[in-house]
A and B are shown apart, each in its own frame.
Chain A
Amino acid sequence: MKNKGLTKVDLIFESIDIMKVMKKAFEMTSDEIIQQILESGLKGRGGAGFPTGLKWKYTAAEKDPEKYIVCNADEGEPGTFKDREILDKVASKVYAGMTIAGKAMGARKGFIYLRGEYRFLLPQLFVELHKFHKLINEIGYDFSIEYRMGSGAYICGEESALFESIEGFRGEPRNKPPYPTVSGLFSKPTSINNVETLVTAVMIIEKGANEYFKLGTKDSRGSKVFSISGDTPIPGIFELELGMTVQEFVNEFGDGDTKAVQVGGASGFCVPRKKFGETIIGFEGVPTGGSMKLFNSSRSMYNLLHNYLDFFAEESCGQCTPCRVGCQQLLKGVEKVKKGEAKSTYLNELVKLADTMKVASKCGLGQSVGNAFKSIVENFREEIIY
């Protein structure tokens, strides 16, 4: 397959006339808005990549008069910081996105769940929100947004855990079904979208689905904001068209000695140098919520793996067996192998365990611990053992 190469894009942070887009959306019917989003091919920008238009469509189809649009700003994936930047720079576009989503699905109330680590942003976000509420009041549109804060729990980025947290409980993911579109926040039909997704939706309404559809590839339409860190001379936030290979990415952002790229954070995949050329960043290759970490040859992949496993052992909610105990076993297991206290073949058992966690865990956290584990162990086995 011919790939797209690396192209910088400026959609998310582009300054636009918020009122103009919203007026445009208000003149459209609910179906028309949803149709635009469906046609754009937009998939959720938090990482899981569920088609946004479908989420809105399902929520819109629910009969309950009370529905919610929730903005997931619990950006906790190691290596992701783009949502903070988006809220910092273009919060009003997030609010507009929620309003348009609300209009599309019949929700009059929106919540933004902001991670506690970003609380310092709140004063300026409130100022923006106040202005925004005034704006929509002036045109007589009934919609309001409230902030809810996290308090340091990675798992609350999982949609149903996030609802639990807003409702005042421990952030423990729920059984699904029912899905949020049927029974979400306060058991009401809810569409929960990532910060960037909502802003992207605004830009799709502004520019039209066709324009957006032109960007990206068949499975990964449009562009995406990447959070780039690690061994790179230019760490930071970059909006890039989807469809590039890891090689093309490394050519631009690497330090000349890149050994591996961790795509998608701790719950994502580790791509080794030998696979840079063949791996596309996107849903056809390695999906990402934006986290891109580069590692050069001075870095120990054991340390990387250990750091991630330690992270998961702490940040698992702890309710389900495969995730709670599995994370501890993977962590202790690699420690034992490294110290020579367990045979190197024990890694094979741990890989099987990672597979079990992938299929038997209750939520996306437990199901994705195996991604990093397997891709690191399989590609850098010798670094884990010796």
Chain B
Amino acid sequence: MVTLKINEQEVKVAEGTTVLEAAKKLGVIIPTLCNHPDLCVAGNCRVCVVEQTGARTLIAACAMPVSEGMDIHTNSLKVRNARKHIVELLLSEHRADCTKCYKNQKCELQTLANEYSFGEHIFLDLVEDHSYSIDRSSPAFIKDDSKCIRCQRCVRTCSQLQHVSAIAVANKGAHMKISSFHDRPMSHVVCTNCGQCVNRCPTGALTEKTYIDQVWDAIYDPEKHVVVQTAPAVRVALGEDLGYDPGERVTGKMVTALRQLGFDSVLDTDFTADLTIIEEGTELLTRLKKVLVENDHSMALPMFTSCSPGWIKFIEHKYPQMLPNLSTCKSPQQMFGALAKTFYAQKRKLDPSKIVSVSIMPCTAKKYEADRPEMRSSGYKDIDFVLTTRELAVMIKQAGIDFRSLEPDNYDSIMGTSTGAGVIFGATGGVMEAALRTAYELVTGKPVPFKNLNIMPVRGMEGVKEATIKIEGTTEEWRFLEGAELKVAIAHGLVNANKIAKAVSTGKAQYHFIEIMACPGGCLGGGGQPIPTNAAIRQKRMEAIYSEDMHMDLRKSHENPEIIAIYNEFLEKPNGHKSHELLHTHYIERESY
């Protein structure tokens, strides 16, 4: 343990602790910008400089480890002057058109400016000296360099968490900037649109591309029937943007709010999550049979899940040779979209051209996914608009809804009923668990041999998880699987996905089924989720997801009565002709930059 003094108060902390962390322990707040708990220390922005008695210069609290006898002052004249200068310097490079900015009042630089830099600015405005550009090429997000403060959180996110490095620091000195490969449009580089950078950007330099106004227009258009679906992870995070603590489930209130916003039908992505399990589970069993029993290698193993559009784009860019290993199942969002303008339209006797399909997602990549040309199997754009959790919160605020006072309600029917298996799609390991709950039962006639159906080995925040499930007591049809050990793996965050993909592509790992989610923690840590998102918050959201699952009457996808019904009435059978037409897709190889 190390003893030091901060603002004359003594504190004992473990060796290796930073001054910033030690101060936090004392309740002393030191402002930061480039620092983020998910990322390595940068020490770039210098906003956290503090005075150490005897030191020649100020020190960056985020980057300085404590040492015995240190005497720190966080609020001396020298510190205040420097901090004010630093905030003003950042502002001088930043296009501060705050009232026009999507991040207005949610901007960390603005918060600091309010504290340190009100009144006349000291320094000259440098904004016009830089030839800043705004990149709107991605359907998922906007990169506005004029708002960038070069803290490099995005760069560290893209490399450390995602192993993508679609953006990097380029040039030096006054010309230093965050750039894609040779300034190419973000839509034409390896960017997966995962939005993890958006989630970590302290300013308006990286924001989701918002479709709020388009959704309002659709809602107010009397000609249009607007359906909305909500992804599993939204219900455990939306509350954070509406004044709740992380981890509070607000499913019922969210449904009421959506209805009050004017959506014609409030439906659930969890329904198509259940449907995904049936389709993907069947696909897996088919692949296992073809490859292992019939020795037909026209199908590839292991099979990777395909729910995460960030992961899909990652593999398309980085491991195109493994595209046959991807499940051909569309994501739950896109299955929903394809069914909304076919099955749902038929049932409700609606003209599909009059249906506007909106989805609320924890994700920015879903905006990109909805825009893929493959995603038009209904004959229309299957999903018209994708809003993030954050955007939904904005709409609720815009409509003047007092969220807390809402009475909870249930989803509408036809594609609104779901099971706990659908809910857990929102957490890393959830798709795997849901699939196992169904597949195991399908081949053995018995529930998975885990207490309360909770398959604990596939849960948790470990980056890469592995499990082996022994299949015993198979029914006649699945006798070929008797005694087989199903080897599965789960990864979340593309840095972990890459580890598995690399191991599989080099033959170093032997699995049958692999779940991959592009974002840390799975969808609950998605790029479209409330800001901030960090490990502690992800943990809370995960607990909420599993709690939601435990509170559901039905917890296995194949028991969802609407799923049973849709096969009877419309799809006929899993992986059947209609499924392939509407619910499955294909992938394309993309450039390596």
Contact = CB atoms under 8 A, between A and B. Distances in A.
B174 A316 contact: yes
B359 to A, nearest CB: 39
A321 B44 CA distance: 7
Given A349-B122, A352-B85, A356-B82, A320 B172 contact: no
Interface string B39-51: 0011111110100
Contacts of A177: 64-65
B57 A314 contact: no
Interface string A315-334: 11111111011111100110
A322 B173 contact: no
A353 B85 contact: yes
A329 B126 contact: yes
- Report which residue of B86, B122, B173, B176 has the largest number of chain A beta carbons within 10 angstroms of its beta carbon: B173
Contacts of A327: 173-174
Contacts of B393: none
A318 B173 contact: yes
B4 to A, nearest CB: 15
A337 B172 CA distance: 26
A298 interface: no
B171 interface: yes
A329 B129 CA distance: 11
A378 to B, nearest CB: 19
Contacts of B60: 175, 362
Interface in A303-350: 312-322, 324-329, 332-333, 336, 342, 349
Contact of A326 (B45, B58, B89, B150): B89
Contacts of A329: 89, 92, 123-124, 126
Interface string B103-127: 0000000000000000000111010
Contacts of B152: 319
Interface in A352-368: 352-353, 356, 358-362, 367
B161 interface: no
A23 B356 CA distance: 86
Interface in B393-439: none
B468 interface: no
Contacts of A336: 124
A175 B63 contact: yes
A155 interface: yes
Interface residues of B, number: 38
A325 B57 contact: no
Contacts of A4: none
Nearest to A349: B122
B81 interface: yes
Contacts of A175: 41, 43, 60, 63-64
Contact of A170 (B45, B47, B169): B169
B124 A325 contact: no
A325 B81 CA distance: 16
A153 interface: yes
B93 interface: yes
A360 B57 contact: yes
Contacts of B124: 329, 332-333, 336, 342
A322 B175 contact: no
Contacts of B64: 175, 177
Contacts of B44: 319-321, 362
Contacts of A360: 46, 49, 57-58, 82, 85-86
Given A316-B176, A324-B176, 6 more contacts: A177-B64, A328-B129, A328-B174, A359-B58, A359-B78, A360-B46
19 contacts: A172-B169, A175-B63, A317-B176, A318-B173, A318-B175, A321-B90, A322-B86, A325-B126, A326-B89, A327-B174, A332-B124, A342-B124, A352-B81, A356-B85, A358-B57, A359-B49, A360-B57, A360-B82, A362-B44
Q: Which 9 A-B pairs have the closest CB atoms?
A: A318-B176, A325-B89, A175-B63, A356-B85, A175-B43, A316-B173, A360-B82, A359-B57, A314-B173
Interface of A: 153, 155, 170, 172, 175, 177, 312-322, 324-329, 332-333, 336, 342, 349, 352-353, 356, 358-362, 367
